[in-house]
Amino acid sequence: MSNFENTAYNFAYLDEQTKRMIRRALLKAVAIPGYQVPFASREMPMPYGWGTGGIQVTAAVIGPEDVLKVIDQGSDDTTNAVSIRNFFQKTTNVETTEETAKASLIQTRHRIPETPLTDGQILVYQVPIPEPLRFLEPRETETRKMHALEEYGLMHVKLYEDISRHGDIATTYAYPVNVAGRYVMDPSPTPKFDNPKMNNMPALQLFGAGREKRIYAIPPYTEVVSLDFEDYPFTIQKWEEPCALCGETESFLDEVILDDAGGRMFVCSDSHYCKSRQEQGHSGSQSPDAEKASREVAE
Amino acid sequence: MYVAVKGGEKAIENAHRYLAEERRGDPAIEELSLKQITEQLSHAVSRVMAEGSLFDRELAALAIKQARGDLIEAIFLIRAYRTTLPRFGYSAPINTADMALDRRVSATFKDLPGGQILGPTFDYTHRLLDFALAAEGLEAEQAKEAEEAVDEDVPRVLELLNKEGLIEAAVPGESDESSSVGDLTREPLEFPAGRDVRLQNLARGDEGFILSLGYSTQRGYARNHAFVGEIRIGHVAVEFVPEELGFAIEIGDILVSECETVNQFQGSKKVPAQFTRGYGLAFGHCERKVIAMALVDRALRADELGEEKSAPVQDEEFVLSHSDNIQATGFVEHIKLPHYVDFQSELELVRRLRANALRTQTTLEAAE
Ligand SMILES: [Zn+2]
């Protein structure tokens, strides 16, 4: 007879044995920066593709004293970020926050917060396809060999072909990096805008790919270089206008469609960063104050 | 003025309530019981147990009810539950030769020791909708009990061939008694995978995927013309050797389906011509799955038999990496999650490339 009662789950859902297995993989990952460590990824109560790798890494490192922040697309309020935060609230009861500086542990999908991370913080990335060479070579048996032999020519050929075809490197997110002068690594599908933040970051960066069963890491203060060419140096995206809510010119902006007549505006993708700037008195073309001001001018 | 979209939390809560309401349907209609599902939707239960890798009819029924009949969702529920269960160890290998048979057929011999036992099969039904079933409350026909019991001793068909040396011997896996069998739920899949892990992967694999791959072998993609040597469906005992006892005790029995195929083999540089084997086994009554599984298993033995590899079904990495429907459905469906940031990056690139192209064109035209 099956047990239909609500089972009480362990702290952070995973059993301690599984956590130890993940921690061993994490230690190996930290010891070999950028190297993909296979681990016995578990089936989680969320679907693959929803961040099961990041969730397992977070579950393995989180303690009762941690303060957790979860973002998706830079925002704390996207549905999946809410769902993952609720999951950890339920299973660990830890304090959660939207404030980047206050968090000891940040789980992210697709962004690195705009506020620089500091010593002692941990950033956990959700990774869909951990293999940077996957779209050049679909076979795992081959790509593992290529990493072992440091055979990264194919990647440079790909970037070079971009340039000859488009006059520019046409990779805009999941832009490959070289970690500590050895392994080429996929930074997860963060925009290349965020790549420079990874270099010499004081925080520990951990990457979890659940479906592909891989963990990798960048220890604090590690050199992370985006691949490029001398005559085509790596550049990041720029916008022609500042954030419409906080006036920031140095952040990654999301495009918001306002109507069906081509009306649009750009706002910070990092929702907490934008909000705190507004609270500090910064404003943009669409912020309440600016609108009031422009009305007053018109009147 | 613009207000950023908020309220993910509320939206999720409401969506869950709506889902619960839809699951129940019209409250005036009687609610499904788990018993009704286990008794009357037994093939669905079998599939969820097989691909969920958990033999528990009631839990499978619960998952089917909770998933509103979406079997992949039900399999997902079972998998997520299964992974939290403590492990006591690995059972002794089941012995399907000792199966309490519901069904046993061979396509290779007209008659054979133990006979052909059709059992509860759709095979010779005419697929005509039975409108009498729509009228509820009719008493179902009862099958007559056979006058003779099934033979005690029903030898395996492939062993009959084996006596003549016409078929390869069933090779045990590389692991000997002392080493444990591979388990891809505890160790990440690595290539080349052993046959034990391959069979585990196929047994858990999506029925539709395995079926299509098996079908492809029949249409010329890695043709390995197969005969069904034997299909067995029935109950087998599960034995476990507790460390403190040191001998096997029976801990229950399970319903399984098993298929062994006899495949043509012309011989190669390595091996003389003889019949070869494909093997399929899964929880529950799922004949289609195990026949297809045996075809795929045989195709995946290309390397071992020194056959030329030309078709997707022979490609171990391709087959094993894409057979799991929980992984597949997760990753396929995840593209509906927000990708604003990546899309914004692509928008910026396309706009810039187009602007560049336009500029170049204008300069060229001006120069002409
Ligand atoms: Zn802003």
- In one-letter notation, the amino acid at residue A295 is R
* Beta carbons of B338 and B344 less than 8 angstroms apart: no
Question: Does A111 contact chain B (CB < 8 Å)?
Answer: yes
Of B86, B340, B348, nearest to A172 by CB-CB distance is: B348
Say how far apart CA B197 and CA B185 lie, in whole Å. Answer: 10
Query: Residues A219-262: pLDDT tens digits?
Result: 999 999 999 999 999 999 889 899 999 999 999 999 999 888 88
Active-site residue list of A: 34, 243, 246, 268, 274
User: Which token pair is B123?
Assistant: 């095979």
Query: Residues A131-169: pLDDT tens digits?
Result: 999 989 999 999 999 999 999 999 999 999 988 888 888
Ligand 1 center from residue A186 Cα (angstroms): 27
DSSP letter at B120 equals S
Closest-CA residue in chain B for A74? B341
CB contacts under 8 A, A 142-161 vs B, are none
Distance from CA of A200 to the nearest CA of B (A): 23
* Beta carbons of B280 and B266 less than 8 angstroms apart: no
Does B187 contact A40 at a Cβ distance shorter than 8 Å? yes
- In one-letter notation, the amino acid at residue B92 is A
Q: pTM value?
A: 0.89
Say how far apart CA A86 and CA B345 lie, in whole Å. Answer: 29
Ligand 1 center from residue A270 Cα (angstroms): 8
- In one-letter notation, the amino acid at residue B27 is P
| pLDDT beyond 60 at A295 | no
Residues of chain A contacting residue B319, judged by C-beta atoms under 8 Å apart: none
Query: Residues A202-224: pLDDT tens digits?
Result: 999 999 999 999 999 999 999 99
Could you state, in order of their start, the residue ranges of all structural domains in chain B?
2-82, 96-125+143-329, 338-367
Residue B268 vs residue B68, higher pLDDT: B68
Over residues B242-249, mean pLDDT: 91
Ligand 1 center from residue A294 Cα (angstroms): 19
Query: Residues A166-194: pLDDT tens digits?
Result: 888 889 999 999 999 999 999 999 999 99
Task: Identify which of B142-151, B159-168, B264-273, B300-309 has the greatest average pLDDT.
Answer: B300-309
Say how far apart CA A220 and CA A198 lie, in whole Å. Answer: 9
Residue B81, φ and ψ in degrees, nearest 5: -75, -45
Instruction: Supply angle C-alpha B226, B295, B218, rounded to 5.
Output: 60
Say how far apart CA A174 and CA A191 lie, in whole Å. Answer: 6
Does B188 contact A287 at a Cβ distance shorter than 8 Å? no
Paired with A126 in beta bridges are A208
Write down the pLDDT at residue B274.
Answer: 85
Distance from CA of A168 to the nearest CA of B (A): 8
Ligand 1 center from residue A45 Cα (angstroms): 34
Write down the pLDDT at residue A133.
Answer: 96
Say how far apart CA B130 and CA B118 lie, in whole Å. Answer: 21
Q: Nearest to residue B229, comparing CAs of B164, B309, B291?
A: B291
Residue B204, φ and ψ in degrees, nearest 5: -85, -15
| pLDDT beyond 50 at B159 | yes
